[in-house]
Chains A and B, each alone.
Chain A
């Protein structure tokens, strides 16, 4: 018996959301009186993996096959299912991402497991296995019972605190058997987004809307983001008009973020935009219209012109550092 956590990486580092999934898995394993085993796929330094012990892993299984660096979803799903079988996992936990949305669905079919996405809390085990998940793009929650022997959970970002308070753990090589079709997609090329901070992973997000008037003014958003080490986002019309790339579009039909701090500048706060940001811990709204609906969803508000407020805010943040 065990709890298996898939520790998704990005460019050789284990993602923060994976550490949260580990902390979640470790807490659940101790409730179930069993151990939390982590699985990592692709190239990592040994120290990056042994450090997962600090977050609660009792050991790390490592599929070091270099083909995994291209994140082939089917192969990752095969590896996760194989590791789950090898360790007789009762629960498989993954951080929610575009990759795990796909991988978990294959794992669930392979393991005949019920799967629940966007989990926000540890399960209630008093009768059956019930987990709370966000639905309607964060507008509501569903307490969901999983009736299958094996359960697969995808954890929403920021649902759990990842705190390093344990010791390093052993790392074991793990070599699942792959099927030919696991590597059936041919990668032609990769286009990297500018900016080093991944929007779904960012602790702070600075987002701009149509109120910024045009792409030539985005340096104002970028300067503030840089001072805050924040990711940058935008509203849908902004990406529709190609002022910003599509992967920055936040909301119902775009990226869902749950950072500690979301700063919205010149965004009116349409319900479809709010749907993507309503699980942020703190929301700051800067808008020249005091009636903008976004203020109703905000914790702090500034009624003012973005072109005056942004440079001042950037300076004030810099002064703090």
Chain B
């Protein structure tokens, strides 16, 4: 089975977000970049599926060369090869177009990615890729098994979980507990250096959306402390001051 895993290169979850250039750019000073945590679940599951039944795992990233350490990390975790589309990821549709274009040139059975990126939280690339390819697209997927040409999966729905069956090929947006995050071992890290990483040019259109300005939320006021011996006061405050009860 040939699996394509699409990964984002995003600030680590502990990053304190600030902006520069009159609030038009993320301040990247001191920011640690990682594979998107949801994408890493997708990658882990892809590797498990390959190890169980053969095939290959290719990682794909749309972005500039700064993301290469993140791509190498995905190779160290266990992907076989990588493709980087050399372009700024302008918006979800632009990224989806690149993924669909690569998918049309290669016969993948499965395209996995995270349910959303943790920078822009769009959650829409999976569906756009599915629509562009005419493939079914499912998200957020919490469990995924492949049996021959058929996928069975569990998807989170409002108020529970839905189990679905669908013929491959398939696009899936993944989240836990689809697999456990994997820590690359020494051999993985060594071999990642020489695994193929192809750089290709982008295709397609202008972005439908552009960011005019970034903003930060207003600072939180101070916390009002209530004595543990006087819990009734907390209820009074919530009712009469905060008016949320």
Contacts and interface: CB of A to CB of B under 8 A. Distances in A.
B148 interface: no
B211 interface: yes
A97 B158 contact: yes
B45 interface: no
A186 interface: yes
Q: Residue among B159, B163, B207, B216 with the most chain A CB within 10 A? A: B159
Contacts of B234: 284, 300, 302, 313, 316
Tell me the dominant secondary structure on chain B's binding face: mixed
Contacts of A98: 139-140, 155-158
B203 interface: no
Contacts of B125: 105
A261 B244 contact: yes
Interface string A124-142: 0000001010111111111
A74 B138 CA distance: 10
Contact of A260 (B17, B91, B123, B244): B244
A116 B223 contact: no
Given A117-B121, A137-B118, A317-B235, A101 B127 contact: yes
Given A187-B164, A190-B157, A140 B209 contact: no
A48 to B, nearest CB: 17
B226 A132 contact: no
B88 interface: no
A213 interface: no
Interface stretch (B60-68, B128-136, B183-191, B192-200): B128-136
A147 B210 contact: yes
Contacts of B167: 184
A163 interface: no
Contacts, number: 264
B212 A101 contact: no
Interface in B213-245: 213-217, 220-221, 223-228, 231-232, 234-235, 237-239, 242, 244-245
Contact of A118 (B121, B130, B165, B215): B121
Nearest to A184: B136
Given A114-B93, A198-B158, A252 B215 contact: no
Contacts of A247: 156, 160-161
B127 A139 contact: no
A16 interface: no
Chain A interface bracket (under 10, 10 to 19, 20 to 34, 35 or more): 35 or more
Contact of A142 (B120, B160, B220): B120
B20 interface: no
B124 A117 contact: yes
A136 B177 contact: no
B19 interface: yes
A185 B164 contact: yes
A10 B239 contact: no
Contact of A181 (B132, B134, B238, B239): B134
B92 A105 contact: yes
A32 B228 CA distance: 52
B105 interface: no
B11 to A, nearest CB: 8
A17 B142 CA distance: 24
Nearest to B19: A140
A261 B223 CA distance: 14
B176 A253 contact: yes
Contacts of A148: 208
B30 to A, nearest CB: 15
Given A105-B125, A190-B162, A320 B214 contact: no
Contacts of A184: 136, 166-167
Given A101-B123, A103-B127, A302-B234, A116 B176 contact: no
* Chain A CB within 10 Å, residue with most, of B91, B206, B221: B91
Interface in B26-47: 37-38
Nearest to B116: A101
B147 interface: no
Interface in A84-110: 97-99, 101-106, 108-110
19 contacts: A73-B127, A101-B127, A102-B123, A105-B125, A106-B128, A108-B128, A143-B211, A143-B212, A145-B212, A146-B209, A147-B208, A188-B163, A193-B161, A204-B244, A261-B238, A282-B238, A296-B223, A301-B225, A303-B225
Given A105-B131, A110-B131, A300-B238, 6 more contacts: A105-B125, A136-B119, A186-B165, A193-B161, A299-B221, A312-B231
Interface of A: 10-11, 15, 71, 73-74, 77, 97-99, 101-106, 108-110, 112-118, 130, 132, 134-148, 181, 184-193, 198, 200-201, 204, 228, 246-247, 249, 252-253, 260-261, 271-272, 275, 278, 281-282, 284-285, 295-305, 308-309, 312-313, 316-317, 319-320
Which 3 pairs show the lowest CB-CB distances between chains A and B?
Answer: A105-B127, A304-B228, A114-B208
